[in-house]
Amino acid sequence: MLQKNPKTTPSRYANQRMSYDRETANAILDEALFCTISYSVDNQPFAIPTAFVRKGKKLYIHGSVGSHFLRQIESGSPVCISIMLVDDLVVAKSAFNHSVNFRSFTLFSNATRIDDYDAKYHFFKELTEKIVPNSWNYLRPMKESEVNKTMLLEFEIEEASVKIRAGEPVDEKEDEALPIWSGLIPIPSKRLAPIADELSKDIPLPEHLK
């Protein structure tokens, strides 16, 4: 289970929509490609969207060793990592009861910088295979210099929560009989067919991209 405490407990829907189940969190973390990572400097918040990978009970992000943002958080100052997957627009009979079906994840953690070469190499493989499954062995092999100029940060997934809204609109009792259409508009993020760049016009699309 994830750690339930005042920081990971919201003021609203604390009983209906919250989950601290690790499997539920992992499903969101493994589907989402991007998170927003927030940190503070003198109480001024900064937030950066970035790609990430989950492995076990850890979450990983990377970037250039020259990145100002990574340098700010590598020393272990507190961060909040936020993820939101949007499933449906929830159209009710009144504007007030419109909502959104979503699955969100919030993590409070601190970075640990990982300098081990093999761990960094393996992160790159996991990230690449998350973005394009089964593509790692097809690509030009990673160079040692590429691993070396990348910074890898690790975050423990403990102090975290999941919030989910699913299902149909919830209208006021007195609105239910109104002849006004209500329901869901799904808005999935969907991968379309790959488009070759100029260099690849004559290169066959590999199996893993079909």
Within 134-163, the residues that bind a copy of itself by CB under 8 A are 135-136, 138-140, 142-143, 146
Report in angstroms how near the CB of residue 43 gets to a copy of itself at its nearest: 5
Q: Does 5 bind a copy of itself (CB under 8 A)?
A: no
**Residue 94 φ/ψ, nearest 5 degrees:** -125, 150
Among 3, 98, 113, 116, contact with a copy of itself (rule: CB under 8 A): 98
> Which residue has 């999935």 as its token pair?
188
Interactions with a copy of itself, residue window 101-120 (CB under 8 A): 102, 104, 106, 108
Q: Does 76 bind a copy of itself (CB under 8 A)?
A: no
User: Which of 55, 60, 68 lies closest to 153, judged by CA?
Assistant: 60
Q: Does 210 bind a copy of itself (CB under 8 A)?
A: no
Interactions with a copy of itself, residue window 17-36 (CB under 8 A): 33-34, 36
- How many Å apart are CA 111 and CA 70, to the nearest integer? 9
Is residue 18 a contact partner of residue 162, using CB atoms and an 8 Å limit? yes
Q: Does 1 bind a copy of itself (CB under 8 A)?
A: no
- How many Å apart are CA 186 and CA 165, to the nearest integer? 13
Q: How many CA atoms lie within 13 A of 22 on its CB side?
A: 13
Among 5, 64, 112, 134, contact with a copy of itself (rule: CB under 8 A): 64
Q: Which is closer to a copy of itself, CB of 19 or CB of 182?
A: 182
Report in angstroms how near the CB of residue 156 gets to a copy of itself at its nearest: 16
Report in angstroms how near the CB of residue 69 gets to a copy of itself at its nearest: 7
CA dihedral 194, 198, 199, 205 (to 10 degrees): 20
Q: How many CA atoms lie within 13 A of 16 on its CB side?
A: 6
Report in angstroms how near the CB of residue 168 gets to a copy of itself at its nearest: 4
